[in-house]
Amino acid sequence: MARLGAEEIEERLSRLDGWSRQGEALVREQRSTDFLGSVEFVNRIAPVAEDMGHHPDLAISWDTVTVTITTHSEGGLTDKDFTLAERIDALS
Amino acid sequence: MARLGAEEIEERLSRLDGWSRQGEALVREQRSTDFLGSVEFVNRIAPVAEDMGHHPDLAISWDTVTVTITTHSEGGLTDKDFTLAERIDALS
């Protein structure tokens, strides 16, 4: 799993919905109706993350979940990060 | 719901298990076995938070959930924060 180059990162980022690059991570904020909506969104991400063996950081603050994805072992963004982001997009 | 004074905060904090004060918030890190253990812990907190109408910030990073509690409307720590912390302690 190699780190992606800057050009490929830009290209793949442009195809995602609502994600931004923050340093070596992909970040997206998902708004829900309330706290339980946020917990439900986390529960929908969990099986996807388990299936991929790739786990985002998830921060719940009331009606918002901030999803942060990176490949720690590579110290940067890889194909797996974008695939996880795409699968999370498909949930919402 | 009034902000608590420094002395009462210290006294109540000393009765909690694993919490520290960080600025105007109570913070605890809960380790689990893995990512799904963290998601499960969030799901156990959710009904308690709903029951109290008081919602912590919850940050999942693999096997760790960081729980942050404050009373935003008061800009500081109140009785409700400590009650929520005690009820979260009772879960683990």
DSSP A23-84: TTEEEEEEE-SSHHHHHHHHHHHHHHHHHHT---EEEEETTEEEEEE-BGGGTB-BHHHHHH
Identify the residue among A29, A34, A39 best suited for mutation to test binding to B, counting B beta carbons within 10 A and taking the highest: A39
Q: What is the pLDDT of residues B43-73, one digit of tens each?
A: 999 999 999 999 999 999 999 999 999 999 9
Binning pLDDT at 50, 70 and 90, where does residue B92 land? confident
Query: Is pLDDT above 80 for A92?
Result: no
User: What tokens were used for B27?
Assistant: 């913070």
User: What tokens were used for A12?
Assistant: 């793949």
Please provide residue B3's backbone torsions phi and psi, each rounded to the nearest 5 degrees.
-65, 145
User: What's the rounded Cα separation, in Å, for the pair B58 and B53?
Assistant: 15
What are chain B's domains?
6-89 (3.30.1360.20)
ipTM of the complex: 0.95
Binning pLDDT at 50, 70 and 90, where does residue B86 land? very high
Mean pLDDT, to the nearest integer, of B77-81?
97
User: What tokens were used for B41?
Assistant: 């812990």
Question: Which chain B residue has its CA at the smallest distance from A55's CA?
Answer: B62
Distance from A30 to chain B by nearest Cα, in Å? 14
Query: Is pLDDT above 80 for B1?
Result: no
Q: What is the pLDDT of residues A58-74, one digit of tens each?
A: 999 999 999 999 999 99
Model-level pTM? 0.96
Q: What pLDDT, on a 0 to 100 scale, did the predictor assign at position B41?
A: 98
Q: In what order do the strands lie in the sheet with A20-22?
A: A20-22, A25-31, A64-69, A57-61, B57-61, B64-69, B25-31, B20-22
Distance from A16 to chain B by nearest Cα, in Å? 23
Query: Is pLDDT above 80 for A1?
Result: no
Q: What pLDDT, on a 0 to 100 scale, did the predictor assign at position B57?
A: 98
Mean pLDDT, to the nearest integer, of B75-83?
97
Cβ separation A57–B57 shorter than 8 A: no
Cβ separation B57–A58 shorter than 8 A: no
